[in-house]
Amino acid sequence: MRITLSFDNGPIPGSTDRILDILKARGLRATFFALGKLAAEPEGYDVLIRAKAEGHWIGNHTMNHGTPLGESTDPRHVEHEIEAAERVLGPLAQPERLFRPHGGGELGDHLLSKAARDWLTARKYTVVAWNNVPGDWIEPRRGWVERALATAEQQDWSLLVLHDPYLADMMDTLPAFLDEVKRRGGSFTQQFPPSCVLISAS
Residue-wise pLDDT for 14-23, tens only, equals: 999 999 999 9
| This prediction's pTM | 0.95
- In whole numbers, what is the pLDDT of the chain averaged over residues? 94
Residues in the chain, total:
202
Q: H/E element holding 25?
A: helix 16-26
E-only strand ranges, 85-186: 98-99, 126-128, 157-163
The per-residue pLDDT for 108 is 81
Q: Domains of the chain (ranges plus CATH)?
A: 2-199 (3.20.20.370)
Q: For residue 83, which of 52, 47, 123 has the smallest C-alpha distance?
A: 123
The span from the first CA to the last CA of the chain, in angstroms, equals 26
List of residues 6+ apart from 202 with CB closer than 8 A: 96, 126
For the residues 80-107, what does the mean pLDDT come to?
A: 90
Exposed / middle / buried, residue 136 (Cβ in 10 Å: 0-12, 13-18, 19+): buried
| pLDDT higher than threshold 80 for residue 148 | yes
Exposed / middle / buried, residue 143 (Cβ in 10 Å: 0-12, 13-18, 19+): middle
The per-residue pLDDT for 75 is 67
Give buried/exposed letters for 61-96 (b at 16+ CB in 10 A, else e): bbbebebbbbebeeeebbebbbebbbebbeebbbee
Contacts 24+ apart (CB under 8 A), 79-85: 82/116, 82/119, 82/120, 83/119, 84/36, 85/34, 85/35, 85/36, 85/39, 85/60, 85/61
Asked if residue 178 lies in contact with residue 147, where contact means CB atoms within 8 angstroms, the answer is no
Q: What is the pLDDT of residues 64-88, one digit of tens each?
A: 977 777 777 776 768 888 999 999 9
| pLDDT higher than threshold 90 for residue 8 | yes
What distances in angstroms separate CA 146 from CA 1, 16, 57, one per listed residue?
14, 22, 26
